[in-house]
Structure 1
Amino acid sequence: MNKVQQQASLSEAERLSAVASLGDPVRKTLFELLRRSPRALSRDDCAEALDLPKSTVRAHLDRMVADRILDVDFRKVGVRTGPGSGRPTKLYTVALAEVGVSVPARHYDLAAELLAAAVQHSMDSGVEVRDALATVAFDAGRELGAQAGSIAVVLENTGYDPGPDGEGGTIMANCPFHQLSREHTGVVCSLNGALLNGVLAGCGDNSHVIEPDSNLSHCCARIVPKGP
Structure 2
Amino acid sequence: MGTSEGRDRDAISELSSLEDAVRRRLYAYVGSCDDPVDREDAARAAGISRTLAAYHLDKLADAGLLDVSYARAAGRGGPGAGRPAKRYARAERELTVSVPPRDYGLLAEVLAGAMAADRSGTAREAVAEAARATGRAAGGPDLTAALTACGYEPSPTDDGTIDLRNCPFHRLAREHTELVCWLNLHLVRGMLEAGGQPPARAVLAPRPGRCCVVVDPAQPEPEPEPEPEP
State the TM-score, normalizing by the size of structure 1.
Answer: 0.43
Larger relative contact order (C-alpha < 8 A, sep ≥ 6)?
A: 1
State the TM-score, normalizing by the size of structure 2.
Answer: 0.43
